[in-house]
Structure 1
Amino acid sequence: MTLPQSTRRSWLLGLLAAPLALPLGGCGFELRRPPELPYTRIALVGFENRSPMEAALRAALPSSAEVVQSTARAEVVLTAVDDRTYRIVAASTTAGQVREFRLRAQLKFRLSRPDGRILLNDTELHRERDLSYTESAALSKQAEEEALLQEMRGDLAQQVLRMLVVAAHKPLPPLPAADAASAASAASAP
């Protein structure tokens, strides 16, 4: 029985490619995974209702982490100090028509424990992208702008997760003075 020409060619190519692919198996390449958080309960505080940045953070969290409403139930509290997006004219024609916008997504946040100990002081992250613009394609450019903003928020959320992991490995700061005094008096009470 003879094989058709195309099957024979495919078989020969597979036979020749196999030795070339073997060394790649042990090179250590691995797809990027979300960082493994040392926390299982996190509270997201300070975001506006229906904040796209909060939604991006929730989507970026691994399935092992739960977003809780009460800061008392949380292991770590992420407080949004400032969550904004900007659209700035970057280039225009001599007639005053806009040709390019600069999009900016900005998040300023603080990371703390429920007892008030600060794990990460106010930190500001931002992403910028340029967007060309023509009035004849205004609707498609609006959709492109939303897609870019969503992508930038996703990038910011990934950075925040990496910072959560780093902050978890730092030694805990001491309790604030008022909390330490109340803890000491509670411990000495019979």
Structure 2
Amino acid sequence: MHTSLQQRIVHGRQWLLMLAAALLLSACGFHMRGPANLPFKSINLGFSPGSTLGVELKRNIQASGVQVVDDAKSAEAVMQVLSDTRDRQILTLNTNGRVREYALFQRFSFVVKDNKGVIIIPPTNVTLRRVITYDENQELAKQAEEALLYRDMQSDLVQQILRRLSASKPKTDDAASME
């Protein structure tokens, strides 16, 4: 009988700890990321039609309620892609001079203007980096891992672009006429 009382006390403490953890997590302000709150109603994206980055960014922008248009003159904002490159650099070599680690880079730069050519977001560079170990005995697996890391960097890049677009403030006609 003494052990069943101890078990109930331990069980009660576990429930109390779980309840306290749930209360602490609910009070920390955590909430899921919702759609971006963009300060314009339409945008033209300067990506080539087959760009996977362009497709993913377009999908996220449309999910936030902003229309992506093909004609730059009818858009409130126009994004111009200045560069979009991927690069791989050797980080470390083993004692035999064979590659052990690579650094993967994705560099993206863009500028956003309104339909009159006034700059909303000045030329901005975003550089993402991931490190990947390399083993020549697992060539196919490492190629798949590299592709997965590039996809992850692309998703991260889309989120960074959306945050920059959300933080932008288009100039009003009054502010533009004062300059």
TM bracket (short chain): 0.7 to 0.9
2:4 match: none
2:176 match: 174
2:54 match: 54
User: What is the root-mean-square deviation in Å for CA atoms of aligned residues?
Assistant: 2.7
SS in 2 for 1:50: coil
2:5 match: none
Do the aligned partners of residues 24 and 106 (structure 1) sit closer, same or farther apart at CA in structure 2, a change above 3 Å counting?
closer
Indicate conservation of the 8 Å contact 1:77/1:114, yes or no: yes
Structure 1 unpaired stretches of 5+? 1-8, 178-190
Do the aligned partners of residues 30 and 77 (structure 1) sit closer, same or farther apart at CA in structure 2, a change above 3 Å counting?
same
Structure 2 residue 97 is matched with structure 1 residue 96: yes
Give the whole-Å Cα distance in 2 for the aligned partners of 1:91 and 1:71.
46
Give the structure with higher Rg (CA).
Answer: 1
Indicate conservation of the 8 Å contact 1:44/1:67, yes or no: yes
Indicate conservation of the 8 Å contact 2:114/2:170, yes or no: no
Give the whole-Å Cα distance in 1 for the aligned partners of 2:145 and 2:18.
42
Map residues 1-190 of structure 1 onto 2, 5 A cutoff.
16=16, 20=20, 21-22=22-23, 24-45=25-46, 47-63=47-63, 64-168=65-169, 174=176
Deviation at 1:73, TM superposition (A): 1.8
Q: TM-score, with normalisation over the residues of structure 2? A: 0.78
Do the aligned partners of residues 19 and 132 (structure 1) sit closer, same or farther apart at CA in structure 2, a change above 3 Å counting?
closer
Aligned length, in residue pairs: 166
Deviation at 1:67, TM superposition (A): 1.6
Q: Quick one: which amino acid aligns to residue 120 of structure 1?
A: I
For residues 26-64 of structure 1, give each alpha carbon's deviation from its aligned partner in whole angstroms, at most 9, with x where no partner exists. Answer: 44321222421122311111x344223223322432511
Deviation at 1:71, TM superposition (A): 0.5
Bigger mean CA deviation after superposition, 104-113 or 28-37: 28-37
Q: Following superposition, which runs of at least 4 residues in structure 1 exceed 4 angstroms of deviation?
A: 12-19, 169-173
